[in-house]
Every structure is written in structure tokens, then in C-alpha cells.
Chains A and B, each alone.
Chain A
Amino acid sequence: MKRIDAIQAIYPAIADHVVVTIMGATAAELFACGHRPNFFYLEHAMGLASSMGLGIALARPDLKVIVLDGDGSVLMNLGGLSTMARSGPPNLVQIVFDNEVLLSVGVSFTTATADVANIEGIARESGVPRTATCKRVEELRECVDMALASNELTTIVAKVEPVGPKSFFIDPHMLENRFEFERALRRMGDSKPIGDVNE
């Protein structure tokens, strides 16, 4: 499957939730499907999209948080999987697009998933309670729907072809996106952040 087709297929399911995506190709492909203020494109800080998703999920248990991740990014923050698992927020779904390369740097530098490593296995053994690997778009769509309905921390590995968009163009500037996203989160959901003094 191509990642752009996968993102298009799950877009209706994720569009009304909080979405944090990794940099580069994945960010541009999500943007191409239609920007929303509740989408955050984490440029450059490789590996930390899942940690950010964890922070949001813990702070706002009333919201569902979806992280669009990559194999290179996950491998750079492997400990984060165990941190996520032991914190165990039920409202967090991580979708790892595993294209077996560091696509966004423009070269086919393969990652360890191309030959030896298995991210679903690592996630499962790190303690993530629900994991899956999907190879087809339809399968992924079902998996994401089930994860969102399950109310359980989930890591889904989507095996995708190593192809990306022609351009990494994203319209809101990074800081514009950051402030717009913060504001959007304030308007979403049915409760205030945990520990809000005005609760």
C-alpha cells in the first residue's frame, strides 16, 4: 500500500481527533488530504511525535490522540514505546508507517525494519496492550476504527511502499500551526485539562 492512500482511507476516522504527525513526507501527505487546526505537524524533532502524543493524551483524557509515526522515528525513540506502554493512556493510537527507509531525507537509507527488526513485536514486548500489522488499506482502515473504538492504547504498524510526495509543502508556518493547534485543543472535547483550577 502507498502511505498517501492509507492516510486518505483513514482520514475520515481521524479528522475530528487530535493528530500529531512526524516531519517531512508523512506531514505533507496528511496536509494534502486537508489541513485541520487539530493537526500538528512535528517538523524536525525526530522521534518525539509519540512522546508529544503521550503528553497530550495524559493531559486531556477526554480527547482521542492519533500519532502518525515512521519506522526511522520510532527506532530513534525506542524507549518511548515502553514509557508509553507503562503510562498506558487508553486514548492514544500510534500508527507507524513502516516504509523500511528514511524517506524524508531523500535517499533510500534503509532502516533495520528492512532486514531484521519488527516494530509491532517491539511495541508488543514493550507492553503496548493492542498491536497490529496491516499490509492493505482496507485492513488498516478496520484496524484504526477498532483501535479508536477500543479505548485501549494501540500501536498499528502499516507496511507501506517507500514512496512519498513530490513536495513537502505545508501551508501554516510551524509556529502558526503550533498556536492554532493549542487553541483548537482548548475548544475540543468535553472537559478541561486535568487538574484545571477552574474545573
Chain B
Amino acid sequence: MPVSSQNSQLIYDALKSAGVRLVSALPETWLVHLVGLADDDPEMILVRLAKEEEGIGISAGAHLAGVSSAMLMQNHGFLASVNSIVSLAQLYRIPLLMLISFRGEFGETDPWQTEGGGVTIPVLDALGIPWKRLDSPSVVKKSIQDAMTLSSANLRPVALLLCRDLMWEDAN
């Protein structure tokens, strides 16, 4: 599979060293290795979601109960979760580390990903969510730690966009 297992491992290790103990996920192709790593790790609680917005509730509960969590989803899952982000995470000042695979950018071959790809950043901006693109292995560890630090300080959601160049091997 051309999904980068090496970079998935890098992301996973960075999540763990940032203190993440619970991951809720609704994957797509790019996220399969990450979900597998969480599943194989006895120290990680993996919650397989039926719909992404459940993950906002689960992370809110985990946070209030003292556990750091992260969400794994694609940008369409983020778009599907907007009300829960606004009405729970933002309204109640819940830190939320969202790892969003960023489909529909330059190089996208699936026509159905392209509309969502075009509106992802405008929607993040409209919600006032700080975001950063992860497009090279060299930025992964520090960006994930920095995102966690900011979100724990301002008690708000943050987004890391997992980009094609990082996740998909034959893109290079």
C-alpha cells in the first residue's frame, strides 16, 4: 500500500510522546496504519467511531476526566463535525487535537474529494481554529507537540492537516 507506514509510525510516536492516551478514529485510506498502530498498542485506548462528531464528545469526556486524546479523521469527517466542535469543544473550552487527513489538494485523483478539499481551510479559519500543515517528516514531532501545548493552554481545538506528501508515498 502506498500509504507511508514510516511516516504513520512517526506521527504515532509523536502522539504518544505528547501524552495522548486515547484515540478516536474514523479512518480513510491514509489513516489505516495509524489506526492499526493505536489498535496494536496496549497502552492506547482506541475508540472506533460510527460518526466523527461522537469523537468530540468522547474527547471532551476524556479531557474532563484527565486523559489527553486525539481524533483521527479525514477532512470530510471534520466538516461533518462542525456543530459539535462549535457547540461542545469551543463553547465549553475543550482542548481537542484533531489530526485531519487533507484530501482534495493538488495531486488528488478522486473527484469526490475535491469539493471538501477546497473548503477545509476556509472552514477552519471561519471557526478560528489554529491549524498547521504536516507535509514533511521533519516537522511532525515538533508540530504535534506544539499543537498539544497550544490547545492545552488555550483550551480550544487545534488541527493538524496530514498532507499528501507526508502520507502517500508515490506522491514524491
| A121 interface contact, C-beta 8 A | no
A77→B88 CA distance, assembly (Å): 14
Cβ contact of A77, chosen from B54, B65, B66, cutoff 8 A: B54
A59→B20 CA distance, assembly (Å): 12
A20→B48 CA distance, assembly (Å): 22
Q: Are A45 and B88 within 8 A (Cβ)?
A: yes
| B60 interface contact, C-beta 8 A | yes
Q: Are B61 and A83 within 8 A (Cβ)?
A: no
| A96 interface contact, C-beta 8 A | no
A-B contacts, 21 of them at CB < 8 A, read A45-B84, A48-B54, A48-B57, A50-B57, A51-B55, A52-B60, A54-B47, A55-B58, A55-B63, A55-B67, A55-B69, A59-B66, A63-B65, A79-B54, A83-B50, A83-B54, A174-B91, A178-B64, A185-B64, A186-B66, A194-B22
Chain B interface (Cβ within 8 Å of chain A)? 19, 21-22, 43, 45, 47-51, 53-67, 69, 83-84, 87-88, 91-93
Q: Are A59 and B61 within 8 A (Cβ)?
A: yes
| A124 interface contact, C-beta 8 A | no
Residue numbers in A under 8 Å from B45 (CB-CB): 58-59, 194
Q: Mark A29-66, 1 if CB is under 8 A from B, else 0.
A: 00000000000101111111111111111111001000
Instruction: Give how many A residues have a beta carbon under 8 Å from the other chain's beta carbons.
Output: 42
Q: Are A79 and B67 within 8 A (Cβ)?
A: no
Q: Are A193 and B67 within 8 A (Cβ)?
A: yes
Q: Sorted from nearest, which 6 A-B pairs have the closest CB atoms?
A: A55-B61, A51-B57, A79-B50, A48-B57, A59-B65, A195-B21
Residue numbers in A under 8 Å from B69 (CB-CB): 55
Q: Are A48 and B56 within 8 A (Cβ)?
A: yes
What residue of chain A has the Cβ atom nearest to residue B69's Cβ?
Answer: A55
What residue of chain B has the Cβ atom nearest to residue A178's Cβ?
Answer: B92
Q: Are B58 and A44 within 8 A (Cβ)?
A: no
Cβ contact of A48, chosen from B60, B64, B65, cutoff 8 A: B60
A20→B58 CA distance, assembly (Å): 12
Q: Are A49 and B57 within 8 A (Cβ)?
A: yes
Residue numbers in B under 8 Å from A57 (CB-CB): 61
Tell me, rounded to whole Å, the shortest Cβ–Cβ distance linking B158 to chain A. 18
A80→B49 CA distance, assembly (Å): 8
With A45-B87, A48-B84, A194-B21 known as contacts, the answer to whether A59 contacts B62 (CB < 8 A) is: yes
Residue numbers in B under 8 Å from A60 (CB-CB): 65-67
| A17 interface contact, C-beta 8 A | no
Tell me, rounded to whole Å, the shortest Cβ–Cβ distance linking A54 to chain B. 6
Tell me, rounded to whole Å, the shortest Cβ–Cβ distance linking B71 to chain A. 11
Q: Are B91 and A51 within 8 A (Cβ)?
A: no
Residue numbers in A under 8 Å from B61 (CB-CB): 20, 51-59
Q: Are B65 and A195 within 8 A (Cβ)?
A: no
Tell me, rounded to whole Å, the shortest Cβ–Cβ distance linking A172 to chain B. 13
| A135 interface contact, C-beta 8 A | no
